[in-house]
C-alpha cells in the first residue's frame, strides 16, 4: 500500500477551526466597534451641551458689558436710557432659554439670573437636562 504524502490542502477540521476563530474574532471586533460608536455619540452629546451652556454664559456676559442695570421683574439687562435691552426667559415646559424671543439654548433644566444684594453683580445658574451645571457671579463694569 502506498502512503500519500501530499500536504497541500486543508482538512475539514482545520477549515472549521479557522472559521470558528474568525467568527469569534469578528464578533469581538464588532462589539468593540458598536461600543465605541455609542460612547462617541454620548460624548458628542455631552460636549454639545457644555458648548451650549458656555455659549449662553458668553452671551449674557457680553450683554452685561453693554448695559448698566438688570431688571429683576422681567430678567432684562438695560442701559441708562433704555435704548439697549436684552430680555432672557426660561421656558420650563420646552426646556429652552430665549434672548429677546430667540431660542439660544435647548435641553435646559434650570436657569436663573439673581441680583446679588448690596453689589452691582448678578449670580447666574444654568443646568442642562443631562446634569451639566454652570454657576458664576458676574459684575457690571463701573466706568461711568
Q: What confidence tens digit (pLDDT) does each residue in 111-143 have?
A: 988 888 887 888 989 999 888 898 888 887 765
Please indicate, yes or no, if residue 52 is contained in any of the structural domains.
yes
Gap between the Cα atoms of 53 and 43, Å rounded: 15
In the structure, what pLDDT confidence band is assigned to residue 22 with cuts at 50, 70 and 90?
A: very high
Gap between the Cα atoms of 20 and 1, Å rounded: 36
Range of the domain at 94: 15-139
Strand partners, 76: 71, 87
- Predicted confidence at residue 3, as pLDDT, reads 66
Total domains, the chain: 1
Q: What confidence tens digit (pLDDT) does each residue in 70-127 have?
A: 888 888 888 877 778 889 999 999 999 999 999 999 989 999 888 888 878 889 899 9
- Predicted confidence at residue 142, as pLDDT, reads 63
Please indicate, yes or no, if residue 2 is contained in any of the structural domains.
no
- Predicted confidence at residue 7, as pLDDT, reads 67
CA angle 60, 132, 141 (to 5 degrees): 25
Gap between the Cα atoms of 18 and 41, Å rounded: 34
Please indicate, yes or no, if residue 50 is contained in any of the structural domains.
yes
In the structure, what pLDDT confidence band is assigned to residue 32 with cuts at 50, 70 and 90?
A: very high
Amino acid at each position: 500500500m502506498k502512503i500519500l504524502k501530499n500536504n497541500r490542502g486543508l482538512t475539514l477540521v482545520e477549515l472549521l477551526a479557522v472559521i470558528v476563530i474568525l467568527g469569534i474574532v469578528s464578533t469581538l471586533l464588532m462589539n468593540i466597534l458598536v461600543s465605541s460608536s455609542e460612547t462617541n455619540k454620548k460624548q458628542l452629546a455631552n460636549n454639545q451641551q457644555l458648548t451650549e451652556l458656555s455659549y449662553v454664559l458668553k452671551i449674557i456676559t457680553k450683554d452685561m458689558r453693554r448695559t448698566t442695570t438688570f431688571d429683576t421683574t422681567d430678567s432684562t439687562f438695560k442701559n441708562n436710557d433704555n435704548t439697549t435691552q436684552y430680555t432672557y426667559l426660561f421656558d420650563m415646559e420646552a426646556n429652552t432659554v430665549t434672548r429677546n424671543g430667540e431660542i439660544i439654548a435647548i435641553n435646559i433644566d434650570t436657569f436663573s439670573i439673581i441680583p446679588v444684594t448690596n453689589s452691582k453683580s448678578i449670580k447666574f445658574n444654568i443646568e442642562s437636562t443631562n446634569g451639566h451645571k454652570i454657576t458664576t457671579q458676574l459684575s457690571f463694569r463701573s466706568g461711568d
